[in-house]
Amino acid sequence: MTKGNINVSVENIFPLIKKFLYSDHEIFLRELISNATDATLKLKHMTTVGDSKAEYGNPIIEVKIDKEGKKLHIIDQGLGMTAEEVEKYINQVAFSGAEEFLDKYKDSAKDSGIIGHFGLGFYSAFMVAEKVEIITKSHTGEPAAHWTCDGSPEFTLEPSDKTERGTEIILHIAEDSTEFLKESRIKELLTKYNKFMPVPIKFGTKEVNVALPEDAPKDAKPEKKTVDNIINNPNPAWTKQPTDLQDEDYKSFYRELYPMQFEEPLFNIHLNVDYPFNLTGILYFPKMTNDMNMQKDKIQLYQNQVFVTDNVEGIVPEFLTMLRGVIDSPDIPLNVSRSYLQADGAVKKISSYITRKVADKLKSLFNNNREDFEAKWNDIKIVIEYGMLSEEKFFEKADAFALYPTVDGKYYTYEELFNKIKANQTDKDDKLVILYASNTDAQHSYIEAAKAKGYEVLLLDSPIVSHLIQKLESTKENISFARVDGDHIDNLINKEETKISKLTDEQKTELETVLKDTIPSEKFMVQLEAMDSNASPFIITQPEFMRRMKEMQQTGGGGMFGMGNMPEMYNLVVNTNSDLVGEILNTKTKKKQERLINQSLDLARLSQGLLKGEELTNFVKRSYELLK
Ligand code: ADP
Ligand code: MG
């Protein structure tokens, strides 16, 4: 028997491990299964290249709970260790760099989650175990070894009678960690971390039906048999070549990833690169809702098929965190804080690669099947629009596939839209005016008025659209967006027709006085306009800039902080050429004049959806009176 001291320079490393790793102590199982996997894959490689004479076979890893003995076993059929190797790998090497690490991060480690992702490897077993044993037999056939350590720096190493190749790790679960003796808890961990690891992992057994022979009688009961319960899929879709996968394979992998998700993904993007960094993965576009925060944190990050985290912030550009799927890269340094990660050169490259891949995929979907792309637009636009706002590179690429839908269900690219409207939708400075609506019901009459003049009206209804418009206006030359109800259509698009007013200047001044007597000036800015005589007498509009400021305030950003609440302020456009307005002017009794003005104003408010509550009730009452 050998006795000795584990070669660590920090005397009391074990209390430190427990303390520092406490918040994430469940990762011990991931670490031990990773080691078992490494040992198996190493052996596979050695037998392939002829460095081992062992029979590789079909090795599995087994996780076993011994409730009475309060032990957890992790057993592999990998390459094993000789006694010398245990001395070398377990006793000496394991802690190199640990002291330095703990010293460097002793203040920040706990809160930044650093250790949580830091592979302390084998020794993380001591987070949950008061004693750990290793029984291992090397593939070389040398005698097996038995190592024991009770959490002090002392260990024992003696021969063992183990005959099968491989390593068994036995954890004597500590009093404060008995949750890890529960089957449900271990199952949860295996599903979370090991679901796609490359070596089959057995946890218990299960009963399955044995297939009946063809000629079996109809009422024959299928026989049961007990088989290993393998908890993982060692060959997940993302590890395969895109050419080997059908659409159905991608969909079934999606169901494997999100068993509780019943809606199918819209499409997927297979990531596959090995230079200048290594990255594989599959991203899915799910149907998006307009709530951007709801759908975050669904992408899972793996390293060599080991689950690491579902927080990919800093690795995937923000706008793509709304997607789902898997990213697997051994090149992402996870032993650093997130803010450092964002500044890391390799990670920046990964992030821009992903952005480019997503843009390329969208472009090819658009080119290959535009109809289908248009049909999906409403479900994906939030990601694309958000991407256009937040990533300059993506904005440039998106020009090729970003769509601008019209109220009539047509979809234009920016270029198509531009060509369509450049001839007749300009203002007096020759600026292109892009008309849009945000709600076809609420803005119905304005949309109709614009369409009657032959103009195109876009339907832009995502929550961030005011930001996007701002961005487009500042990027594209000589354009401006105008919501259809921003002003009377003839003011939005100026064709320089001289409008002839039926009223003289004196009459206009008189009309203005009359109107201002009745209409509250803090709510409406009265504006006289000479329009077609059959256009509405009163039209309520809200100036574009005013409404946009308000919207941007609500959706945040845009430097709108500290502006306070803007008051609701509307324009009241009064058509001086309408007969009704002429009648208002000519009515001699003050009372009747007031009634005409109020009724017209209410009708204008009604068509903007601004008449509510008591005012609406009074309006309806008054209208019935008039009918009598
Ligand atoms: P790492 O896995 O990062 O090398 P660990 O602390 O997890 O660090 O493990 C230290 C070493 O112990 C491994 O590199 C390996 O050589 C050896 N080892 C651990 N577990 C096993 C195992 N199940 N079979 C064979 N060797 C093992
Ligand atoms: Mg390890």
243 annotated ligand-binding residue: no
Give the residue whose CA is nearest to atom 9 of ligand 1.
122
Among 39-48, 52-61, 552-561, which stretch is predicted with the lowest mean pLDDT?
552-561
Q: How far is the CA of 234 from the centre of ligand 1 (A)?
A: 21
- The pLDDT score that the predictor gives to residue 101 is 41
- The pLDDT score that the predictor gives to residue 20 is 59
Share of the chain above pLDDT 90, in %: 46
Question: Is pLDDT above 70 for 292?
Answer: no
Tokens of 603: 């009708």
31 annotated ligand-binding residue: yes
CB-count exposure of residue 414 (10 Å: 0-12, 13-18, 19+): middle
Question: Is pLDDT above 50 for 389?
Answer: yes
Give the residue whose CA is nearest to atom 19 of ligand 1.
35
Give the residue whose CA is nearest to atom 14 of ligand 1.
89
For residues 114 and 336, the answer to whether their CB atoms sit within 8 Å is yes
CB-count exposure of residue 312 (10 Å: 0-12, 13-18, 19+): buried
Rounded CA gap, 366 and 212, in Å? 49
350 lines ligand 1 (CB under 6 A): no
What would the pLDDT profile of 571-603 be if each residue is shown by its tens digit? 898 988 899 998 998 888 888 999 899 999 999
- The pLDDT score that the predictor gives to residue 495 is 62
What residues are paired with 4 via a beta bridge? Answer: 155
Q: Hey, which bits of 376-532 come out as E strands?
A: 404-405, 411-412, 432-437, 457-459, 479-483, 524-529
314 lines ligand 1 (CB under 6 A): no
81 lines ligand 1 (CB under 6 A): yes
Residue 151 is classified by DSSP as S
Among 138-142, 163-167, 336-340, 538-542, which stretch is predicted with the lowest mean pLDDT?
336-340
97 annotated ligand-binding residue: yes
Q: How far is the CA of 126 from the centre of ligand 2 (A)?
A: 14
Confidence of residue 164 (pLDDT cuts 50, 70, 90): very high
30: closest CA among 93, 124, 96? 124
- The pLDDT score that the predictor gives to residue 109 is 34
Tokens of 144: 């097996």
Q: Is the domain 2-204 a CATH 3.30.565.10 member?
A: yes
For residues 375 and 415, the answer to whether their CB atoms sit within 8 Å is no
167 annotated ligand-binding residue: yes
78 lines ligand 1 (CB under 6 A): yes
What would the pLDDT profile of 206-230 be if each residue is shown by its tens digit? 999 888 888 888 888 888 999 999 9
578 lines ligand 1 (CB under 6 A): no
- The pLDDT score that the predictor gives to residue 496 is 57
Look at the block and give the residue holding tokens 């809606």: 263
Can you say how many angstroms the Cα of residue 455 is from the centroid of all Cα atoms in its chain? Answer: 37
- Helix H or strand E segment including 486: none
What average pLDDT does the chain have?
A: 85
Among 64-68, 98-102, 413-417, 440-444, which stretch is predicted with the lowest mean pLDDT?
98-102
35 annotated ligand-binding residue: yes
- The pLDDT score that the predictor gives to residue 94 is 46
- Top CATH class, 403-493: alpha beta
Share of the chain above pLDDT 70, in %: 86
Torsion of CA 124, 126, 128, 132, to 10 degrees: 120
For residues 315 and 283, the answer to whether their CB atoms sit within 8 Å is no
- The pLDDT score that the predictor gives to residue 455 is 93
Tokens of 274: 């090995």
Domain ranges of the chain: 2-204, 237-378, 403-493, 505-627
Q: Residue 497's CB: how many other CB atoms inside 10 A?
A: 7
Q: How far is the CA of 36 from the centre of ligand 1 (A)?
A: 8
Residue type, 246: Q
Question: Is pLDDT above 90 for 360?
Answer: yes
What residues are paired with 284 via a beta bridge? Answer: 268, 324
- The pLDDT score that the predictor gives to residue 622 is 85
- The pLDDT score that the predictor gives to residue 602 is 92
Mean pLDDT of 187-193: 95
76 annotated ligand-binding residue: yes
- Measured from the CA of 36, which atom of ligand 1 is nearest? 23
Helix (H, G, I), strand (E, B) or coil at 383: helix
Residue 519 is classified by DSSP as S
CATH superfamily membership of 505-627: Heat shock protein 90, C-terminal domain (1.20.120.790)
35 lines ligand 1 (CB under 6 A): yes
Highest mean pLDDT among 113-117, 178-182, 309-313, 330-334: 178-182
> What is the third-level CATH fold of 237-378?
Ribosomal Protein S5; domain 2 (3.30.230)
Rounded CA gap, 602 and 231, in Å? 68
Give the residue whose CA is nearest to atom 17 of ligand 1.
89
Mean pLDDT of 509-515: 90
